[in-house]
Amino acid sequence: MKKQENNIRHLQATLSGIIAGAQQHYMHATINKHRGFNKLSDRMMHENAKEMAEAARFIHRIIDLGGIPDVQFEKWPVHMNIEEQLKVEYQEQLMALQVLNKIIASIEDDNVTKQIFQDYIADEAGHTQWLKQQLDLIESIGLKNYLSNQI
């Protein structure tokens, strides 16, 4: 029972972060759409959709375990500057991966929950790699050239 309560708590805490991240991607995607950077916006909106799908899996699992998915949502910063958006999201991703790795190691006797976390961390690793790639591109071809490919 104690283990199950711990797993519910991990799911709830992570759900709060997933929704916060999804909201941030949504805000950045919409800001960039407003300015006509449609390609970048579409990619960010795709990340938002993936995060929301993950959030649904977490909500279902919390309910299955007898918990309530009524969590306090964190507020993550929104940036107007595109390079800043990418940098901040990348730093947040790195921190999230660290936390997720610790959580996965602490989940006991619940392979379904563990699998949900493992699928989520695999998704996040892909997202982190994409953000790093964008920052590397900006460094190698310059911000103007990068942005001219995002219209």
Q: Of the two residues 10 and 127, which places its CB atom closer to Fe ion in the complex? A: 127
The residue of the chain with the least Cβ separation from Fe ion equals 127
- x/- track of binding to Fe ion for residues 72-111 (CB under 5 A): ----------------------------------------
CB 31 to Fe ion: min, Å: 17
- Give just the sign of the alpha carbon dihedral 129, 99, 44, 134: negative
Query: Measured between alpha carbons, how far is 37 from 111 in angstroms, rounded to an integer?
Result: 41
The secondary structure element, H or E, covering residue 81 is none
CB 54 to Fe ion: min, Å: 9
Q: Of the two residues 53 and 141, which places its CB atom closer to Fe ion in the complex? A: 53
Residues 17-56 that bind Fe ion (CB under 5 A): none
Kindly report the backbone phi and psi dihedral angles of residue 150, in degrees, each rounded to the nearest multiple of 5, phi listed first: -105, 10
How many residues sit close enough to Fe ion to count as binding (CB under 5 A)?
Answer: 1
CB 48 to Fe ion: min, Å: 9
Q: How far is CA 71 from the centre of its chain?
A: 16
CB 55 to Fe ion: min, Å: 11
The secondary structure element, H or E, covering residue 66 is none
Tokens representing residue 121 in the block: 């961390």
Residues 114-143 that bind Fe ion (CB under 5 A): 127
Q: How far is CA 100 from the centre of its chain?
A: 11
Contacts of 89 (CB under 8 A, 6+ apart): 24, 25, 28, 131
CB 111 to Fe ion: min, Å: 24
Residues that bind Fe ion (CB under 5 A): 127
